[in-house]
Structure 1
Amino acid sequence: MFHKTMVTMIVCIAMTGAFTADAKSDSKEKCLKTRAKIEKIQKKMRQGYTSKQGDKYRKKLADLYKEEFKHCF
């Protein structure tokens, strides 16, 4: 009984580590994609834009900065 419990605990711990590594990899990928989107919008803003476009860009950047904080820090 004790042996079976220990084996189950070890398997659970090993699985948790695997899921954590996979989650970190997924989060890092989302981080890179989010930062690329931020850079793309910032590049557009440096080229000039209308007032309506500026509002759209600022709103999108605000959302992306929140996403960046969640995935990158």
Structure 2
Amino acid sequence: MIYLDVSSETAWRRSGQGARLNPLEYFGRRPEWFGFESYQKNLRKLLLEETGQLPVTVIEEHAGTARTADAVREVLTA
């Protein structure tokens, strides 16, 4: 399994500071930074715990899709 790790800050920015989130991506009544960050951290922890029995490669956040694709390619060809 390949896990693409993205910081909460980057995900928040990509969501338009919460404007494009759905209710399954944050805690609380409406999308706010604290509820989003808490939810994302809990989700990351849970995903990694639940896949703990599988071989998991974590790919840290990269600037740009090309660098991310290169990192994924490296894992797949190793």
TM-score, structure 1 as length reference:
0.32
Larger Rg: 1
TM-score, structure 2 as length reference:
0.30
